[in-house]
Amino acid sequence: MEGKIVAPLDLMQGTVDILVLKALSWGPRHGYAISGWIRERTGGVLTLQDAVLYKSLHRLEERRLLDAEWRPSENNRRAKYYQLTTSGRTALKHEHATWRAYATAVFDVLDANTAGI
Amino acid sequence: MIECEVEEEFAFHLEARTEALIAEGLPPADARMQAASEFGDLSGARAYCRTRDRSAERRRRSFEHLTDLWQDVRIAVRTLRRSPLVTIGAVASFALGIGATTTMFSIGHTLMTSLPYGEVDRLFLVGGYDRSRMTRLGDIGLRVAEARALRDESRATAFGAFEDWPVHLGDGKTNAERLQGSRVTSGLFATLGVRPFLGREFVRSDEQVGASPVVVLGYRAWRDRFRADSSLVGRTVRANGVTARVVGIMPTDFSLGGLDAIWTPLSLERGVLATDTAPHLRMIGRLREGFGYDQAAAEVARLGMQAVRERRGDPAREGLHLFPSADWSVQPEGRRAVYAMTALISLVLVIACGNVANLLLARAAARSRETAIRLSLGAPRAALIRASLVEALVLALAGGVAGSVLAQLGTSQFGRNVANGLPTWIRFRVDGTVFGFALGLVLLAALASGIGPGWRASRLDPLGGLRATERGSTGLRQGRVARELALVQVALATALLLLAGLIVQGARRAVGRDPVPSPQQIANLRIELRRTAYPTAASQAAVVGRILERIRGLPQVVSTTASTATPGFTGPPLEFTVGGLPKDPTTPLIAPVSAVTAGFHKSFEIPILEGREFEVADREGTGRVAIVSRDFADRFFPGRTAVGGTIVVGYPGDPSHPGEHPAEPATIVGVAAGIPSIDGSVGDRRLIYLPYSQVGDERVAIAARVEANPAPFLKSMRQVIFEVDPDIPVFGDRVLADDYHDARAPVIFLAALFSSFGLAGLTLASVGVFALVAFGVRERSREIAIRTALGEARGSILKRLSLAMAIRIGVGLGTGATFGTLASPIVGEVLFSTSPSREPGVYVVVLALIGVVGATALLVPAVRAVRVDPMAALRND
């Protein structure tokens, strides 16, 4: 862990799931691609162990929010590609809204505190 | 599979990340380490992912099974719809089988409904017990002292006692009404766990000597006679000639010992009851809190021993015992009989299963080419079995639905025709248990008829199947099992039909003749004389004589008579001894006894074969006389005349000889012809008649033969009795023919029910044999054609084709006849006393019928096959 202004946050299970769903909203990807995308997007603020990511993928597959398929990767190796199912898409929409409401509520509280100081 | 996939996925990730890091400039070893550290807990993730994958796989597979199953169902339905006649036949087979079995089960199940009391499993009845044989003795009554001992001394059980005690309810404006009910000790209803619907039950003070009389009414009596007037509680009614206060109304379904109209208090205190010595009381008890059945039973056995000793009985041989209250509605023997009947009737279903199995087998044979292809393409054998099971299940479900409707009809008809005398809480309908039973039958039937054909299809050798089809015969040949199926079906049908025949014959005997000529011209009613008003035989005979005389004075009366038992309905069986014969204390002689007035036999047109009938001169104070039936005379006076002989009958209604004191010997003055029984209960036809004027009785049936329509005449008879004494209750007023009709209704219905079961079995079995033979012939059509072409005589081919099957039908007939004969005692026990030895005609008819039906089913397809032009048959291949 490098010295940063904000210490990296550990992610909770539900959080990983929504990030995975979001990562797949642009189309099928394999686990490695999802890992890279999340790393890029969060700029290292959120550390996501790949083990946790794969657990989430297999969990979501079992819950049939994701479909999986083996096919050749960009450099022609066999890779497991995941994609959203219809219920996965619905779940993402729903979770997204919930998260937004949750975050708004948290920010409202934090901003009120700041004004009080 | 799953293990490798997870491994491969992780490996792909780690390698790709390592390569990326090397591309960023890290040395390979560091890159690998960095990638591994970014990955984190590798083995944990591996285990987790595998578990998830396996569970996903399981779900996927079960979903696939479901879709496969659904696919099978759709295929089955489509196949079945393609051959509607066969399908209807199979469904009808199942419907008959399931319907018949479920009807019988439902009847038995309903008869065993538990009593409508609270916590019935802690309720017990006191009954007599034969120690040596460990069996229940018939319903024995207890004396007051014995009941008192049980009630006061038992610690484990709270006992209450009751006895049948009808009440005459009068209002002075019309004939008094007789309500059926009992006298009960206080607190008995609470012991049963039933609270009055209105008011209260009896308390200890109601039992006291000199307490003001009280009654509790049953719901129906209250509703019908008092128009459900809730202000009745606390008011008074005229009961048994005294004024009594109504203190409570019992709830709808309440009955005690089958009686449900009225209850009065019963005291067990010393000297209160006049009938202190006569054993009439029945006792019911509830286990007290903290006591088990064993303690209670031991206690009753101990107290019972004293009771038996006081009766000067043999305590080593008999005693008292606690019986589960469930035995009250149906005795254990009855329960066994019902189960046995259900098992017998289920033979119809077994035959039906045989038919459907055969049908599916034929279907499988026709499809053997398709099956062979599917097998060689790698279809799992389990899938073939499943498909066959599903097809059977679809048929069985359809049959089950139709069968349940049949069972519902059969059960409610049974309730309407047979169950008139049963308590109101027994309701004949198809409930959840019965429905579950039917569903179980459906599954069993599907399994029984589907697994065999499926198994055989799955064992088909794919190559053989294909080759055989090319050569024009089938790959699946009629197996040994299928051929033996015919034997079993014929045997079962024979057994069923034989039993049904015995029942029908028993019923025919029962309903063949009226007990007396032209009962449609006889008006018949019953009265009951209260002991307080008519204490002696003389006073009873006097009032009955007055009533008869006035009825005789009415217009259009041919004759009139009174008796304690109308012909066809036997009187109480009583112990007797015959003068000159030694008394055997172990097996006392018992015969039904009726007390009749002078002119009884003439009036009912019962011929007197020897001697004379009773005359007015036979009355109290003159020499005792008796008339016996011919069967009685033949048995006890063989080879000589019974007239002049003597018998001694302990008649309980005889006031000069109460209790068990020996009665005076009576001289036999006449021998009467026997009376045909009314309901098939052949029973003992040894009857004894005593003159009513000498013995009297409280309950009397009065009959009048009239020239007019007897139905309106009954009103005039009622009026006459009202004028003689308004407190005498009149009940059971009917035209005698209607009484006979009602008494026979159950017999006729049961005979119809069982003969339809038997015919259903016969129909199913003959269809089965026909199909088996037709199937067997079809698969040999090529062989037959070649033989015919080669010039073999048709007769010889016919013999070749049908001999084996004919032998099987013969063996089936023999087996079935034996089985039916062995099972016939069950039928005799449940319904009528028929026995195979008495009905050789049934055997002849059944064997001939099955023989003809079997021969037709055998010969029609075989003859058709040999008639076919051999060239045409060969070309068809």
* More confident position, B218 or B791: B218
Residues B717 and B593 in one domain: yes
Q: How many domains does chain A have?
A: 1
Give the model's pLDDT for residue B133: 61
Pick from B39, B58, B59, B63 the residue to mutate for testing the A interface (most A CBs within 10 Å). Answer: B39
d(CA B422, CA A33): 81
Query: How confident is the model over B120-170, as pLDDT tens digits?
Result: 888 888 887 766 666 666 556 788 888 888 888 899 999 999 988 888 888
How many residues are there in chain A? 117
| Among B293, B558, B710, B49, residue whose Cα is nearest residue A58 | B49
Pick from A62, A77, A81 the residue to mutate for testing the B interface (most B CBs within 10 Å). Answer: A62
Which residues have a Cβ under 8 Å from the Cβ of B572 and sit 6 or more positions away?
B592, B593, B652
d(CA B542, CA B534): 9
Q: How many domains does chain B have?
A: 4
**Domain assignment of residue B92, yes or no:** no
Q: Taking the CA atoms of B5, B7, B11 and B13 in sequence, report the sign of the dihedral they define.
A: positive
Return phi, psi of residue A80, to 5°: -95, 115
Which residues have a Cβ under 8 Å from the Cβ of A75 and sit 6 or more positions away?
none
Residue A35's domain comprises 13-116
Asked if B13 and A78 come within 8 Å (Cβ–Cβ), the reply is no
CA distance A57 to chain B (A): 9
A positions 23-62 inside 8 Å of B (CB):
30-32, 35, 49-52, 54-55, 57-59, 61-62
* Contact yes or no for A54/B42 (Cβ under 8 A): no
**Token digits for B241?**
């000639």
Residue B716's domain comprises 530-727
**Domain assignment of residue A2, yes or no:** no
Residues B70 and B156 in one domain: no
Helix (H) or strand (E) holding B10: helix B2-23
Residues B414 and B537 in one domain: no
Give the model's pLDDT for residue B415: 77
Q: Is the pLDDT of residue B704 over 90?
A: yes
**Domain assignment of residue A66, yes or no:** yes
Q: Is the pLDDT of residue B406 over 70?
A: yes
CATH of the domain at A65: 1.10.10.10
DSSP string, B339-384: HHHHHHHHHHHHHHHHHHHHHHHHHHHHTHHHHHHHHHTT--HHHH
| Among B262, B175, B254, residue whose Cα is nearest residue B732 | B175
**Domain assignment of residue B83, yes or no:** no
Residues B792 and B715 in one domain: no
Residues B344 and B255 in one domain: no
Give the model's pLDDT for residue B846: 86
**Token digits for B80?**
């079945």
Residues B576 and B494 in one domain: no
- The torsion region of residue B692 among left (phi > 0), alpha (psi -120 to 50) and beta comes to alpha
Q: Is the pLDDT of residue B538 over 80?
A: yes
Q: Tell me the three state secondary structure of residue B195.
A: coil
Residue type, B85: L
Q: Is the pLDDT of residue B833 over 70?
A: no
Bridge partners (DSSP) of residue B706 are B557
Residues B707 and B767 in one domain: no
d(CA B496, CA B823): 10
* More confident position, B534 or B751: B534
Tell me which chain B residue has its CA closest to the CA of residue A64: B56
Tell me which chain A residue has its CA closest to the CA of residue B60: A62
Q: Is the pLDDT of residue B235 over 80?
A: yes
Return phi, psi of residue B41, to 5°: -70, 90
What ipTM did this prediction achieve?
Answer: 0.86
Give the model's pLDDT for residue B868: 73
- Kindly state the average pLDDT of the residues B216-240: 90
**Using CB atoms within 10 A of its CB, is residue B854 exposed (0-12), middle (13-18) or buried (19+)?**
buried
Residues B317 and B359 in one domain: no
pLDDT tens string for chain A (117 positions)? 443 344 445 566 678 888 899 999 988 999 999 998 888 887 767 778 899 999 999 999 988 899 998 988 888 888 999 999 999 999 999 988 888 888 888 888 887 755 544
Tell me which chain B residue has its CA closest to the CA of residue A48: B38
Q: How confident is the model at residue B627 (pLDDT cuts 50, 70, 90)?
A: very high
* More confident position, B861 or B665: B665
- Average pLDDT, rounded, for chain B: 82
* More confident position, B113 or B205: B205
**Domain assignment of residue A6, yes or no:** no
